[in-house]
Amino acid sequence: MPLIASRPSLISLVAALLIILVAPIPSLTHAGKPHLINFRSPNLFPEGLAYDSSAQHFIVGSIRQRTIHSVSDAGVVDTLISDPTLPDNVTVLGLAVDKLNNRLLACITAMDPLPQFHALAAYDLRTRQRLFLAPLPSDDEGPRPVANDVAVDFKGNAYVTNSAGNYIWKVNAQGEASIFSKSRAFTSQRVDPDFPYSFCGLNGVAYNSKGYLLVVQSNTGKMFKVDANDGTARLVLLPEDLNIADGVAIRSDGVVLVVSHKTLWFLKSQDSWGEGGIYDKIALDPEGFPTSVAVGGEDRIAKTELSKVVN
């Protein structure tokens, strides 16, 4: 998700899109026309995306503000969370809804040249109050951490990707954080140093109810299956690399969705993700710079897209 750091920094008004693909069916070739949710919000620049099934709205973060917003199907934007106690100019990246505990989890990161700050924030979706702010421990050996995306299991444990250090944090339901997985698999693939996003490793993460994580890696296009109990990881064999993979989500029928700013992939596996197949993909407009994908009500697929920048 920090791929968007290369976008222009002077943004006063963003006209954003939530593009809803009506596709709870095996192939997009039979899907209906995409439903566009247009919304405007000053200096928002939405990055993370989640869906709150209880309130039946989407939730987006902000690159420029310490705020999180809900977006209705009609494009009505409401400030869900405003947290001025966070450090100035931090970025809200990945989001996840913990349905069982009625919480919203948000990755909070400070980008260069700001002082280092990386944490996971948890908010009560009913009261909109912060429950905890969990600092994420650093590995002194690696580059400056980036808390990028987050997934949550049925026990309230959160799993956060570090895109710079290529490892995964775990934050339990009480807000206690630790480095969970530093598998050698995450650094086993060659990274082209001339690749524009060579700095961005582990990125989107999703939790599968069978007890494992699926994690994509932007600078290699690879996917990994990570055991949610012990952090062991293995490469998922795919027929092609998911170039510049960013967000990932899992549909109720087990189909895995991966988005980059150029492509939306639909993947299936017959062996619980020892290997997987790509059964459909959609070319996206790179000018929109999609970064996240989420599954809404009735298995509708949504992605954020920046459609226009007004100076």
Q: What is the pLDDT of residues 76-102, one digit of tens each?
A: 889 999 999 999 999 999 999 999 999
Nearest-angstrom CA–CA distance, 159 and 139: 16
Please report the pLDDT score of residue 149 as a whole number: 97
User: What are the angstrom distances between the C-alpha of 9 and each of 64, 69, 244, 279, 311?
Assistant: 9, 21, 21, 37, 11
Nearest-angstrom CA–CA distance, 294 and 55: 15
pTM of the model: 0.89
Please report the pLDDT score of residue 168 as a whole number: 98
CATH T-level topology, domain 43-298: Neuraminidase (2.120.10)
Reference 51, options 98, 93, 91, 4; nearest CA is 98
Nearest-angstrom CA–CA distance, 233 and 180: 11
Chain centroid to CA 276: how far? 21
Please report the pLDDT score of residue 296 as a whole number: 86
Neighbour-count burial of 112, counting CB atoms closer than 10 A to its CB (0-12 exposed, 13-18 middle, 19+ buried): exposed
Query: What residues are paired with 213 via a beta bridge?
Result: 207, 226
Mean pLDDT in consecutive groups of 10 residues from the start of the chain, 311 residues: 38 45 44 62 77 93 89 88 94 96 97 92 97 92 90 98 95 98 95 84 96 96 97 98 94 94 94 96 82 84 56 23
